[in-house]
């Protein structure tokens, strides 16, 4: 009789535990709603990150948008600016909410600092045909 009661208490405790997803949440406002023939892109300026580190970009709902994995960057140097396509279904009310996560081998995922991800913007450009 005690085992079912203990199990119920464990489930109640787990239900109260909140799990936080690591990462930095950013909400970007588009300059205007995408017009016919325009596509949206993220421009991400990456600063100095550890060799082998990656910046994962997802929506706050968990949709994967891409991973920035600089290769051949000298230690302590800026990694550069990267362009990532932004699907139309990730945009709502001319806004997109993103989660940026730094993945480093052997270390827990964490939010990148403002020195590691210097800036992120949305650009609207004519669709390539």
User: What per-residue confidence (pLDDT) applies to 46?
Assistant: 96
User: From CA 68, how far away is CA 43, in angstroms rounded?
Assistant: 11
Among candidate residues 126, 111, 123, 120, the one with its CA nearest the CA of residue 49: 111
Tokens of 4: 């079912």
Annotated domain spans of the chain: 21-126
pTM above 0.85? Answer: no
What pLDDT is recorded for position 14? 47
Q: Would you say residue 123 has pLDDT above 50?
A: yes
For residues 66 and 13, which has the higher predicted lDDT (pLDDT)? 66
pLDDT, tens digit (0-9, with 9 covering 90-100), for 27-49: 999 999 999 999 999 999 999 99
Name the pLDDT band for 81 (thresholds 50, 70, 90): very high
pLDDT at 19 over 70: no
Query: What's the pLDDT score for residue 85?
Result: 96
Sign (positive/negative) of CA torsion 21, 24, 113, 64? positive
Fold of 21-126: Hemocyanin; Chain: A, domain 2 (2.60.310)
Task: Answer whether 120's CB lies under 8 Å from 83's CB.
Answer: no
Sheet containing strand 95-103, edge to edge, reads: 24-29, 95-103, 54-59, 64-68
Q: Is the pLDDT of residue 16 over 70?
A: no
Looking at per-residue pLDDT, the higher value among 56 and 1 belongs to: 56
Name, in order, each residue with C-beta under 8 angstroms of 125's C-beta and a sequence gap of 6 or more.
38, 39, 41
- What are the residues whose beta carbons fall under 8 Å from the beta carbon of 44, sequence distance 6 or more? 55, 57, 68, 81, 82, 83, 84, 117, 119, 120
């Amino acid at each position: 009789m005690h085992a079912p009661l203990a199990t119920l208490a464990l489930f109640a405790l787990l239900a109260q535990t909140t799990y936080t997803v690591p990462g930095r949440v950013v909400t970007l406002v588009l300059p205007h709603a995408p017009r016919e023939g325009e596509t949206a892109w993220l421009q991400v300026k990456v600063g100095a990150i550890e060799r082998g580190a990656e910046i994962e970009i997802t929506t706050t709902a968990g949709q994967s948008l891409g991973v920035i994995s600089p290769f051949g960057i000298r230690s302590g140097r800026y990694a550069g600016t990267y362009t990532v396509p932004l699907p139309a279904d990730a945009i709502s009310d001319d806004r997109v909410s993103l989660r940026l996560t730094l993945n480093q081998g052997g270390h827990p995922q964490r939010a990148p600092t403002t020195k590691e991800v210097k800036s992120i913007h949305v650009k609207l450009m004519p669709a390539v045909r």
